[in-house]
Structure 1
Amino acid sequence: MKNSLGLHETLDIHEILSFKNICLTKSATMSHFAQDTALKNLLALDAHQTKEDIQQLTNFLSQQ
């Protein structure tokens, strides 16, 4: 059994990466406009988790 991704799987991962990058941009941008501390913390947590997700997907693609 081979350990490589098919073309459609690679494209799906690139699509997910694009979506995650948009989410990160939005969370980072909106955190500057938020005035509520709880909302700012939530957006910061989301941005941190999204960065980890992007790194994990990028590492996965580079191993293929």
Structure 2
Amino acid sequence: MNYALHEVLEIHEMAAFKTTCLTKSKTMKALITDQLLKDIMQQDIDVSTRQLQEYASILTNAKQ
């Protein structure tokens, strides 16, 4: 699929932001003692990881 340059740049921007959020979630999870909050953070980590994989797939297809 062909994407306009601004669309590809927006995906890059979203991926960069999501990477920062993922890094923060992983770091904070290590510091949390409450199990419920740890579970919520793990869910966020799982969702963010899946979203980054989707962004990578979109960017790979955009270059073809």
Q: Structure 1 length normalisation: TM-score?
A: 0.93
Aligned partners of 2:21, 2:9: CA distance in 1, in Å? 18
1:57 equivalenced with 2:17 (yes/no): no
1:42 equivalenced with 2:40 (yes/no): yes
Q: Helix, strand or coil for the counterpart of 1:4? A: coil
Aligned partners of 1:29, 1:38: CA distance in 2, in Å? 16
Aligned partners of 1:27, 1:38: CA distance in 2, in Å? 14
Aligned partners of 1:26, 1:37: CA distance in 2, in Å? 18
- Structure 1 unmatched ranges of 5 or more: none
What value does the CA root-mean-square deviation take over the aligned residues? 0.6
Runs of 4+ in structure 1 deviating by more than 6 angstroms, as ranges, are: none
Aligned residues: 62
- Structure 2 unmatched ranges of 5 or more: none
Give the structure, 1 or 2, with the largest relative contact order (CA under 8 Å, sep 6 or more): 2
Q: Structure 2 length normalisation: TM-score?
A: 0.93
